[in-house]
């Protein structure tokens, strides 16, 4: 008869004796610990690999090599000790993993542990130390962006046999990405009361009234529409798995110099987490400037009349509140930063001075790297509700800004469109725009309409060519058409009334200062030309003199004539 094997115990810490009968000597050998088996011949070892490949706690028997990734090995030993103290289990449980590795985001930690346990095919609620190490190393070894994206889509799913993703699963993934992106700013975590509206627009556009979709379809949709939303969460998870062994303070490990680090290094590591600060900071308007309008009671100056509790809003009050809502709340800025090319939200570099005479030069270099990038600032260039509506007002506030910018159009029927221009706007009869030119619909459904160069057009005075603003690479059939008065917008052959327009500058402060200098020069030039001083000899040859004479006015100083 062939070799027979038996394994017992529910955890990786229980001894699992294995018996084997050699073909030549008949010796019987047994070994315990994590279901490992010691054989006397290569044929018997091959038989074990075919008969049993995993233990109950998910460890792969074939993987016997010592880990080369020391942080994961240290983290596993620390978590296993915590689980033994709290639950008396030799292994790693989900609650301990989420508590110590993801203290700020326990839900993300639980989902990651559940996904690792699902991949290991473990039959127990915990993972053995070997299985935990194997799955963490496989997870950290992911390099393909498509595979990484599909992993997180499946991670936030139900992990059932069909593995279909529901709308609430995708919404939870996007909400986690938003919370993670908004939690690493100097002013503290940022919130947005319109977050649900933003997330619903993405989910509705992806599912299109379907109840469930495959992970592959959702991944392709995310890659085509919002390719930069999910990668930051993977950077966070990789950083947490790689450095958490240094940030878990244990009283029994005070003397272990390899595990315990200083509090300053812990705080620095938690502050950076290797994240891209891609979500921009929206510069707020001057609080002492113009107001968007009166309160609910019609009182100007931003004051609102007190309302009775429980009294429903009237149609007029509801419409006024809708008009006062910002076109670009923080959640929409996060969504645009994840869908547009990086040039619109590229972090700004600032010089980090380093003192070469410092004794602790290494710490200065480390802090300089942390402080070398700051989030981009989006500056409000034009708001039709504050600066007035019309073509002239739009051109006055927008022309001269030589950086990437976003133009938002809010139309009736709750439509919101965005035109992204990577260059300066200029009036011409030609289509302009580099590779970063985009056209999007933000509400009620999010959709990347087009992303092509030479797809933007602005003309208000050149005769013989269409007037207004257009977006679309096909001049015969543009996607968006704004009339020359900036009052109506045409989308899919349907006319929509424009309610408000906002323009945000996505460049650096130097580009904004250049535009302001140009505006100041134009104002001074207009004042200078308002009063022209000339001599009598200059006036005799001036064309205005002939115009006045043709009009019948010969005496220029006589006001009666």
* pTM score of the predicted model: 0.71
Q: How far apart are CA 212 and CA 164, in angstroms?
A: 6
CA distances from 372 to 276, 277, 278, 329 (A): 12, 11, 14, 27
Sign of the CA dihedral running 232, 234, 235, 240: positive
Q: Are 91 and 129 in contact (CB under 8 A)?
A: yes
Q: How far apart are CA 57 and CA 2, in angstroms?
A: 26
Q: How far apart are CA 321 and CA 344, in angstroms?
A: 30
The phi-psi region of residue 472 (left if phi > 0; otherwise alpha if psi is between -120 and 50; otherwise beta) is left
Residues 373-426: tens digit of each pLDDT: 445 678 889 999 988 989 999 998 998 888 899 999 999 988 999 999 999 999
Which of 172, 148, 159 minimizes the C-alpha distance to 235? 148
Residues 492-545: tens digit of each pLDDT: 999 999 999 999 988 877 767 777 777 777 777 777 776 667 777 777 777 877
**What pLDDT was estimated at residue 47?**
45
* pLDDT at residue 31 tops 50: no
Q: Over range 426-434, report the average pLDDT.
A: 91
CA distances from 339 to 229, 335, 450 (A): 7, 6, 12
As a whole-number percent, the residues of the chain with pLDDT over 70 amount to 64
Which of 97, 96, 99, 90 minimizes the C-alpha distance to 128? 90
- Contacts of 521 by beta carbon, 8 Å cutoff, 6+ apart: none
Using DSSP's 3-state secondary structure scheme, residue 260 falls into coil
Confidence class for position 248, pLDDT limits 50, 70, 90: confident
The position carrying tokens 């580009």 is 511
Q: How far apart are CA 460 and CA 391, in angstroms?
A: 8
* pLDDT at residue 491 tops 50: yes
Q: How many helices (H) and strands (E) does the chain have?
A: 19, 13
Which of 130, 132, 124 minimizes the C-alpha distance to 100? 132
The position carrying tokens 């969504």 is 335
Q: Are 49 and 62 in contact (CB under 8 A)?
A: yes
Q: How far apart are CA 406 and CA 381, in angstroms?
A: 10
Q: How far apart are CA 129 and CA 49, in angstroms?
A: 20
Residues 110-143: tens digit of each pLDDT: 999 999 999 998 888 999 999 999 999 999 999 8
What rounded mean pLDDT belongs to the chain? 75
Distance, C-alpha 425 to centroid of its chain: 26
- Contacts of 130 by beta carbon, 8 Å cutoff, 6+ apart: 12, 34, 59, 60, 63
CA distances from 139 to 63, 116, 119, 282 (A): 16, 8, 10, 35
Other C-beta atoms lying within 10 Å of the C-beta of residue 254: 10
Q: How far apart are CA 101 and CA 129, in angstroms?
A: 15
Which of 339, 332, 388 minimizes the C-alpha distance to 504? 332
Cite the DSSP H helix spans in 53-183: 70-86, 94-101, 106-120, 129-140, 145-155, 167-182
3-state per-residue secondary structure call for 191-243: CCCCHHHHHHHHHHHHHCCCCCECHHHHHHHHHHHCCCCCHHHHHHHHHHHHH
Pull the structure tokens for residue 478. Answer: 């543009």
Q: How far apart are CA 365 and CA 354, in angstroms?
A: 7
Pull the structure tokens for residue 549. Answer: 């004479």
Residues 282-304: tens digit of each pLDDT: 665 543 344 444 433 333 333 34
Q: Which residues pair with 432 in a beta bridge?
A: 456
Concatenate the DSSP letters of all residues of 368-382 into one string. Answer: HHHTSEE--EEEEEE
What H or E segment, with its residue span, contains residue 447? strand 447-451
Preceding peptide of 282 cis, ω within 30°:
no
Q: How far apart are CA 95 and CA 74, in angstroms?
A: 18
**Picking from 40-44, 453-457, 470-474, which range would have the lowest pLDDT averaged per residue?**
40-44
**What pLDDT was estimated at residue 39?**
44
**What pLDDT was estimated at residue 364?**
44
């Amino acid at each position: 008869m062939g070799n027979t094997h038996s394994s017992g115990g529910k955890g990786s810490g229980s001894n699992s004796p294995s018996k084997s009968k050699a073909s030549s000597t008949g010796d019987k050998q047994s070994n315990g610990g994590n279901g490992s088996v010691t054989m006397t011949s290569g044929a018997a070892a091959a038989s074990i690999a075919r008969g049993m490949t995993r233990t109950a706690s998910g460890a792969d028997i074939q993987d016997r090599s010592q880990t080369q990734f020391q942080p994961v090995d240290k983290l596993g030993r620390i978590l296993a000790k915590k689980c033994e103290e709290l639950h008396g289990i030799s292994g790693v449980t989900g609650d301990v993993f989420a508590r110590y590795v993801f203290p700020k985001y326990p839900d993300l930690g639980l989902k990651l542990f559940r996904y690792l346990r699902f991949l290991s095919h473990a039959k127990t609620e915990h993972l053995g130390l070997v299985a935990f190490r194997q799955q963490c190393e496989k997870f950290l070894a992911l390099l393909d962006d498509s595979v990484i994206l599909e992993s997180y889509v499946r991670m936030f799913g139900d992990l059932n046999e069909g593995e279909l993703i529901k709308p609430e699963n995708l919404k939870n993934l996007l909400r986690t990405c938003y919370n993670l992106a908004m939690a690493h700013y100097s002013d503290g975590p940022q919130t947005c009361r319109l977050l649900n509206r933003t997330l619903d627009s993405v989910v509705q556009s992806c599912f299109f009234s379907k109840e469930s979709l495959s992970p592959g379809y959702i991944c392709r949709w995310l890659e085509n529409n919002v390719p930069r939303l999910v990668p930051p969460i993977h950077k966070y998870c990789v950083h947490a798995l790689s450095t958490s062994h240094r940030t878990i303070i244990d009283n029994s490990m005070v003397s272990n110099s390899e595990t315990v680090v200083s509090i300053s290094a812990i705080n620095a590591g938690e502050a950076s987490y290797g994240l891209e600060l891609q979500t921009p900071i929206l510069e707020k308007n001057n609080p002492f400037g113009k107001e968007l309008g009166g309160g609910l009671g019609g009182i100007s100056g931003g004051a609102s009349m007190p309302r009775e509790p429980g009294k429903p809003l009237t149609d007029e009050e509801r419409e006024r509140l809708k008009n006062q809502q910002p076109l670009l709340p923080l959640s929409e800025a996060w969504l645009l930063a994840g869908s547009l090319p990086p040039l619109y939200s590229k972090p700004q570099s600032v010089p980090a001075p380093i003192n070469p005479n410092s004794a602790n030069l290494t710490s200065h270099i480390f802090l300089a790297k942390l402080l070398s990038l700051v989030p981009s600032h989006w500056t409000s260039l034009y708001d039709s509700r504050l600066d007035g509506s019309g073509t002239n007002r739009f051109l006055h506030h927008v022309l001269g800004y030589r950086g990437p910018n976003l133009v938002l159009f809010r139309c009736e029927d709750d439509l919101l469109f965005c035109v992204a221009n990577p260059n300066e706007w200029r009036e011409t009869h030609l289509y302009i725009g580099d590779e970063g030119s985009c056209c999007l619909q933000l509400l009620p459904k999010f959709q990347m309409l087009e992303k092509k160069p030479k797809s933007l057009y602005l003309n208000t005075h050149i005769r013989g060519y269409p007037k207004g603003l257009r977006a679309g690479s096909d001049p015969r059939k543009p996607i968006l058409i704004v009339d020359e008065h900036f009052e109506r917008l045409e989308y899919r052959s349907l006319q929509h009334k424009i309610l408000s327009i906002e323009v945000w500058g996505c460049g650096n402060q130097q580009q904004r200062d250049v535009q302001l200098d140009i505006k100041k020069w134009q104002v001074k030039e207009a004042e200078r030309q308002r009063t022209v001083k000339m001599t009598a000899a200059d006036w005799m040859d001036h064309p205005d003199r002939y115009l006045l004479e043709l009009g019948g006015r010969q005496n220029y100083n006589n006001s009666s004539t």
